[in-house]
Amino acid sequence: MSGGKLRWLRLCALTVMAAAILAPVFVNAQGGIPGGGAPGTIPGMGGMTSASSQPINYGGAPGQSPDAAPAPDYESVVSFIDSAIPMSQVKMIIDGNYGDHRPTRAEYLFPKSGVPGNPGWYTPEKNVDWQELRSYVEMAYKNVFSAFLELPTRWVNPDVNPNEWGMTDIQGGVKVALLNSPGMATTFELRGTFPTRTGPGLSTSHYSVEPGLLFFLRPLDWLAVEGELRYWKPINGTDFAGDLARYGLGFSIGERKYDDSFWFTPVVEIIGWTAINGKEMVPMPDGPVIRGIAGETIVNGVAAVRFGMGDCGDIYIGYGRAFTGDAWQREFWRVEFRVKF
């Protein structure tokens, strides 16, 4: 097993141990369900409780203000797809990514390389594995608006160039709920990327902006569907930088519990990207070849489970692979620890 995978497994083990210890402590410190709402009401973002098994209390529990509790049939459980439900939360995310054979594609993950004077590696790179540890904070106002910030640290393991680690590009943005009704939500998101430039494998060295439309739908008591449609636009990149259309669907099955008992929810996510323009470098025996990528499509699939105790903290563990020949990575893992407040 490579050193990068061993490092990622250690981080995962530490995360799971910390989550297992902190989640029940946090729940108990809040006196069970945070906010002490009446039975059948969920302060915060509600959850996967069947809408038919208890009355929808979209305006809050009796004796609470209308802003205290939204509909009880809301609960976002996806991770790779952005949630359409603005919520106050803190997340710690650990990613392991393996088998990026075209790291310069569209300057989406790594910058143009192999050419003197460009921000990437001096030597053309044929494969990159990398791991990331990211801290995510989102603050919501009345569940209709939120602002978020994501601070990532990356460990890069190229085949040709030296290993690196350090802070990578910072991301931040806002969400505005356009439709917010029981069992359904549609949200506009604006996400931006800010380069850090701490190393050729740690930053794309350009800004980007990514508007998107997110949605949440509960068509059945036991099924939730979440999705996204986003457009990634690089700013001040090289001639390799290209626009990308991103789209995804996530499905979760089951009913979440809100007492102190253990619960889990299976999750499936499918995420795709289509290149509008841009370039990539392809290592060849006779030297690298530069080619356009317009029309190339990448599709990833993820099987995961989110579990926890009560409503405060939960853990997402997922494994994914690329379904297409073109790929950002051939396989990847994620562990996410989330606390809502």
For the chain, which residues make up each domain, given as ranges? 3-340
Question: In angstroms, how far is the first alpha carbon of the chain from the final one?
Answer: 39
Burial per residue of 202-240, b for 16 or more beta-carbon CB atoms within 10 angstroms, e otherwise: bbbbbebebebbbbbebeeeeebebbbebebebeebbeb
Q: Identify the architecture of domain 3-340 in CATH.
A: Beta Barrel (2.40)
**pLDDT reading at 194 higher than 50:** yes
Q: Which amino acid is at 41?
A: T
Q: Which residue in 246, 178, 190, 243 sits closest to 216, CA to CA?
A: 178
The residues with which 146 forms a beta bridge, in sequence order, are 140, 175
pTM value is: 0.79
For the record, the structure tokens of 105 come out as 């594609």
- The rounded distance, in Å, linking the Cα atoms of 316 and 156 is 23
What confidence tier does 284 reach under pLDDT thresholds 50, 70, 90? confident
Neighbours of 329 (CB within 10 A): 22
What confidence tier does 221 reach under pLDDT thresholds 50, 70, 90? confident
**pLDDT reading at 324 higher than 90:** yes
- The rounded distance, in Å, linking the Cα atoms of 127 and 327 is 12
What's the pLDDT at 310? 73
- The rounded distance, in Å, linking the Cα atoms of 79 and 267 is 9
Angle ∠(169,171,176) on CA atoms, nearest 5: 170
- For the segment 73-128, what is each residue's pLDDT rounded down to a tens digit? 568 999 999 999 999 999 999 999 999 999 999 999 999 987 777 888 888 899 99
- The rounded distance, in Å, linking the Cα atoms of 234 and 231 is 10
The residues with which 243 forms a beta bridge, in sequence order, are none
The residues with which 37 forms a beta bridge, in sequence order, are none
- The rounded distance, in Å, linking the Cα atoms of 166 and 86 is 30
Residue written as tokens 């430039």? Answer: 197
Q: Which helix (H) or strand (E) holds 88?
A: none
HEC per residue, 65-86 = CCCCCCCCCCCCCCCCCCCCCC
Q: What is the mean pLDDT of residues 276-303?
A: 93
- For the segment 11-30, what is each residue's pLDDT rounded down to a tens digit? 444 444 444 333 333 333 33
- The rounded distance, in Å, linking the Cα atoms of 229 and 81 is 10
